[in-house]
Amino acid sequence: MTATKVMPLNPVPDTGPDTSEPGTVAPRPVLQVSSVDKIYGNGTVALKGADLTVKQGEFVSLLGPSGCGKSTLLRIMAGLGQVTTGNVRWWEQDYGVVGSRGRKLAFVFQNATLMPWARVRKNVRLPLDLEHAGKSEDVEQKIDDALGMVGLKGFDNSFPRELSGGMQMRASIARAMVTEPNLLLMDEPFGALDEMTRNKLNDDVLKLWKEKGWTIVFVTHSVYEAVYLSSRVVVMAARPGRIVDDIAIEESYPRSPNFRVSTEFAGYCRQVSQALERASAMGEDRDEERQP
């Protein structure tokens, strides 16, 4: 599976991209998950009654114990998985609008999932090839821009094995960026990286999020990462997977590394950690209920 899902262009009526700026018009919903249940074929209830609205320009993290359904929810948001009941709307419309102007989404997976036999430039251009974007100067420029923005200028001709883990994730993000997405869904993209690299990539993603006007939904296991990045942290519990808390991080952007050592940061981390502990205990309660 590739790290970027490229949606086909669809001949749907276009009501225009959502250009609402924070503070001018109320941001419009980009994603609306309503009463979603997901039961896998083996009977696992991965999601029960999930309700979540993500608005234009938000940075929302999904946090919760292992197996609580974060990835399942993210994949449903990407249109990669069917819901059992309930529904999902993209830009207040059906899935058919995804891929049209102002309504593109991209998915960044946990691992960089680069093609090992292809050089960085070919990896990054993959979604454009899938879109049959051709070989125009415009395409080459998009690739150059994406590589420049993630700090990989000059590494076009490297193979993935020649890059560090952090650089491979940068290439994966560049591959998502060339499609010029409006909505970026990221499934624990920096979980395998050391803390310094992760912090640096956190700052770079925040910068791009602001510059590009992206809406981001980001899965993580790290309370610190969730608080540092997000405008909202959504906490989930397991068995069955459900949303149990929604915490606004009311710290203005841009967030500098000073935020990481501030009293406010410590306060938010405490609040989110406590919510996570409550969520974990809910899953354990269910386990105990099943004991003979």
State the nearest-atom distance from the C-beta of 287 to ligand ATP, in Å: 12
For ligand ATP, the closer CB: 66 or 258: 66
State the nearest-atom distance from the C-beta of 277 to ligand ATP, in Å: 16
Q: Which residues make up the interface to ligand ATP (CB under 6 A)? A: 40, 42, 44, 46, 64, 66-72, 241
Query: Hey, is 70 helix, strand or coil?
Result: helix
For ligand ATP, the closer CB: 112 or 163: 112
**CA dist., res. 250 & res. 253, Å (int):** 9
Which structure tokens are listed for 23?
Answer: 């503070």
DSSP secondary-structure letter at 246? E
State the nearest-atom distance from the C-beta of 235 to ligand ATP, in Å: 11
Residue among 281, 272, 190, 280 at smallest CA distance from 233: 272
For ligand ATP, the closer CB: 56 or 71: 71
Query: Hey, is 158 helix, strand or coil?
Result: coil
State the nearest-atom distance from the C-beta of 192 to ligand ATP, in Å: 13
E-only strand ranges, 29-178: 29-39, 45-55, 59-63, 85-90, 105-108
CB 123 within 8 A of CB 175: yes
State the nearest-atom distance from the C-beta of 221 to ligand ATP, in Å: 6
Name the β-bridge partners of 34. Answer: 87
For ligand ATP, the closer CB: 51 or 92: 51
For ligand ATP, the closer CB: 67 or 96: 67
DSSP string, 197-224: HHHHHHHHHHHHHHHHT-EEEEE-S-HH
For ligand ATP, the closer CB: 40 or 95: 40
State the nearest-atom distance from the C-beta of 110 to ligand ATP, in Å: 8
Task: Tell me: cis bond preceding 240? Omega within 30 of 0 counts.
Answer: yes
DSSP secondary-structure letter at 163? S
